[in-house]
Each structure stands twice: as C-alpha cells, then as structure tokens.
A and B are shown apart, each in its own frame.
Chain A
C-alpha cells in the first residue's frame, strides 16, 4: 500500500498475525494508511496485529486517535494488538493517555510474536 510519500506501508503475515510497520511520523496521512492496512489484514482473517514502531520518531494527536480506532476495530473483531519497538518518548505518551491499558508493548517484533503465541512471559515495562 502506498504512503503519501510514495513509499509502501510495509506489512507481512506470520501465521494468523499481521505485522504492520508504522512510518517515521505517525500523523493523519500515514496513520490512515496504516489503519487501512490493519483493517485489510483483519478482514482477510488475521486474528492478531503487531504494529511495529521501530521507524517511528513521533506520534501526534491524530496518530493517537487512529491507533485507538485500530485497537477498537481489533477488539470488536476479537483480535489482539501488540505494539513493538516503541521509543521511550512514545511509551510515555501511550502510558499517559492510557493506550497501554488496551495493548501490550513488546521490545521488538520477535517478542511481540512470542507474546501472541503465548510463549512470552511478561510484556516489557515502559
């Protein structure tokens, strides 16, 4: 899927889990692309989402709202959501706003997949 800059919203599937990579700045334009990709993955049968923030420097208010929308859609569809490799500043933001009540934060994509497979012991602390 294209981002506004012409790059792709990267994603791949591991079993029934979709891993979607957020871009460097999660705002309206990029957020909506990611939301559409998550919807597409859920509609095609994925039962869990990993949103990887390894490239993400900043999340603004619109990004937060869109992420809440993704969480909402996933919860309604009985799917789980894990955020991976979130930087410390964004973890603080998610903590402050209460997003972490609804998602698990994982150190990296591997940990996130382990968590979803039920093998991980504890999600990472912020």
Chain B
C-alpha cells in the first residue's frame, strides 16, 4: 500500500472514531480525553492538552497527555488575543514562529516552547474562541505539512463543537434539575396549603377534627393498594383532604348538629359536595378530577346518594374511594351523639353495603391494606395508627378481614 494511502486510511479511521466519540453521551472528560488521543495518534504527536476558556481567569485544563500540569498552568487569554485567534491562519499558531502576529503566542512563547508545545490552535464555535488545543511535535521529528494542518484543523473543530455541545447538554440537565427541584417545592407547598385548608375545614366542625386529613390518608392507602400510580395516589390524597371543602359555605350550626336538623337544614348540609365542586373547579390543580371526587363523594352505587343520584358506573372510581374513606372514618371516630362502632360492626356494615353504598373492589382493597398492617406484611401501620392503638384490641381482626376479602373477591 502506498504510504499516502495508508496515511489517508489511518486519518479517516481516526475521524470516524472522533465523530462517534463526540456524538456519544458518555462522560464529558472521557470524551475530551479520547478525542485528544485520537488527534495525537493520527499524526503521532507526542504531547497535547485541551483547555477551555469560560469567562475571565486562567484557562481550565480538560485533557492533558505527555505534559506536566504545570506546562499549562497560569495561561490566560485576553479578549484581544481571542480576536487575534479568530483572524490568524494556522501558520501563525506555530509556537516557535517568532514572526507570528498572534499576541497570545508572543506572550507565552518561552513557556510553550520550553514545554515542547509546537502548535496552539483555537477551538472556535459560532465565531467565539471557546478554548485552545496545545500540541507537541510529531514523533517523526518532521515539520507539520499543509495536509497535517488541515487534518488538525478539522479535528480541532470537531473537538470544539463536541465540547460546546456537551456543555450545552450539561447546562440543560442542570436547568432541568433546577426545574424539577422547584416543581417538587411547589408541590410540597401545594400539599401543605391543602392540608392547612383541610385543617381549616375541620375546625368548623368541632367534633370531626382531623377528619379530612384522615380521609386523605385512607384514600391514598386504598388507591395505592389498587395499583394507582404515584401521581394518581397523590391526587386522591388531595381530593380526600378537600372532599368537605363545601362545608365552608354551610352554616356552622347545621354542621355541628347533624343529628338534630330538619329536612330543610339537612338539604342545606347536603349541598356541600356541589358547593365543594364549585369552589374547586376554577382551581388549576396539578392532579386530575379533584373537583369531581369532592362533588360525588356522597353518591351511592344504588343511586340513593346525592347530589345527583348517580349509579355505579357513573361514579368516578376516585369518588368511590373517597366515599369509603369518609364513611370508614365516620364509623370509627366518636361523635357527640354516639360512640364509634366496634370493628366487627364496621366490617359487617362494609359487607352489607358493598354493592349498595360502596364499591366492593374498593372495600376489598382497603381490607387488604389493613390486613397487611395487621399481619406485619406492611412496613408501616398507618391505618392502625389512625384508628388508635386500642381500637382493634380484643377483635378478631384477621379472620374478619379474611372473610370480608373472600366474600368480596368471589
């Protein structure tokens, strides 16, 4: 093979490898180091370095080979010198060329030559000098030829674009991370605000303090047990917190005396789901269907609920979950006019009302979640904690739940 052909093939191979390296998404420093090796190996240059200039101050070394770090320490490039790099041709970039008009080379010639650096090329991207590539002489001892200059220029241009692209991607990733953090913070603020709202709702009803918070948590536990995504689980938790927000427009006396109200007042109280919908609908929630879950949490599968008397398929699943969470909390907490019901009694109610008031699948999911806590399969005992430590004592909890789940799932 003719030496010139052999050289051409060797150079093409290096250019192909360089393209692949620059297009890769691997580690930035590794990309630059490999690119520099490809450049050095193409012409068998004994040493080299790639330095970046980002703003004022010393140039930053990104890759170095065959040189000590001190060889390029303290280099700075002034604005006028950058302009000179934009104008000069390659011949002006030879370090030993004492007639060079390049001010950077003239300023640093002694140090560059002393370290065996023969050629300094700018990396130019979009008309700006983004860094320099410093190269030693050829292992053959020959001078650089015109072809060598062309090869080096092409490869340095590639490396410059590669570095620039990687930096842009880094900045994008950094901004995306910042945005993600901000979004998380906003979500946390939203959640805290909603919880504060829930507390405000419950304060209006002196006998049901913590009710909205518990309904939110029960709803979340049921939805998770039913295999909902994390976003959906968060959404239904919020719906649980806000399900009674419509009570804000109901007279305090009606809320606090539900056992002793006439049909007119009862009708006023029953307005709260629709009122809740009206309050929540104009808000741009980060989760879907929160207003609907509040509106329909008193609907029943048998059509005897309110405000619209919807039946099974017409009721959103989220509203069915909130409905069960709401009723379960009502049954398991003391009210001024009655004590909370025993666990056995609650299970009986859930069984009897599955398919009428509650969706059997939702009840089964809740029972499974509680059973997991009772048997220790679940790490946290969140439902048990909300029920209070004495509530389940003396109850045949496991068999009751087993039977309920079996009945509902078969």
Q: A72-B47, A96-B6 are in contact. Are A61 and B41 (CB under 8 A)?
A: yes
A interface residues with partner B (beta carbon < 8 Å): 28, 60-66, 68-69, 72, 92-93, 96-99, 101-102
Candidate in A61, A66, A72 with the most chain B CB atoms within 10 angstroms: A61
Chain-A contact segment, one of B138-146, B186-194, B269-277, B306-314: B138-146
Per a CB cutoff under 8 Å, which of A62, A66, A97, A98 touches B17?
A: A62
Among residues of B, the one whose C-beta sits closest to the C-beta of A58 is B13
Q: Which chain A residues border B46 with CB–CB below 8 Å? A: 68, 72
Q: A72-B47, A98-B141, A98-B142 are in contact. Are A60 and B14 (CB under 8 A)?
A: yes
Q: Mark B21-50, 1 if CB is under 8 A from A, else 0.
A: 000000000000010111111111111000
Per a CB cutoff under 8 Å, which of A63, A98, A101 touches B41?
A: A63
Candidate in A28, A62, A65 with the most chain B CB atoms within 10 angstroms: A65
Smallest CB–CB gap between B34 and chain A, Å?
6
Per a CB cutoff under 8 Å, which of A66, A72, A97, A101 touches B37?
A: A66
Given A62-B38, A65-B37, A97-B138, 15 extra CB contacts under 8 A:
A28-B37, A61-B13, A61-B17, A61-B41, A62-B37, A63-B41, A64-B40, A64-B42, A64-B44, A65-B40, A92-B1, A93-B10, A96-B6, A98-B138, A99-B139
Q: A60-B17, A63-B41, A68-B46 are in contact. Are A28 and B34 (CB under 8 A)?
A: yes
Per a CB cutoff under 8 Å, which of A61, A69, A98, A101 touches B42?
A: A61
Smallest CB–CB gap between A102 and chain B, Å?
6
* B residues 352-397 in Cβ contact with A at 8 Å: none
Among residues of A, the one whose C-beta sits closest to the C-beta of B35 is A62
Pairs A-B, 5 closest by C-beta atoms: A98-B140, A61-B41, A97-B44, A65-B41, A64-B41
Smallest CB–CB gap between A28 and chain B, Å?
6
Q: Is B7 an interface residue (CB 8 A)?
A: yes
Q: Which chain A residues border B56 with CB–CB below 8 Å? A: none
Q: Which chain A residues border B39 with CB–CB below 8 Å? A: 61
Smallest CB–CB gap between B306 and chain A, Å?
70
Q: Which chain B residues border A72 with CB–CB below 8 Å? A: 46-47, 66
Smallest CB–CB gap between A23 and chain B, Å?
17
Per a CB cutoff under 8 Å, which of B14, B42, B44, B47 touches A99?
A: B44
Among residues of B, the one whose C-beta sits closest to the C-beta of A67 is B41
Per a CB cutoff under 8 Å, which of A65, A68, A98, A101 touches B38?
A: A65
Can you list 17 residue pairs at the A/B interface with Cβ under 8 Å? Answer: A28-B34, A60-B14, A60-B17, A60-B41, A61-B13, A61-B40, A62-B38, A68-B44, A69-B65, A69-B66, A92-B3, A93-B6, A93-B10, A96-B3, A97-B139, A98-B139, A99-B139
Per a CB cutoff under 8 Å, which of B3, B43, B65, B139 touches A101?
A: B139
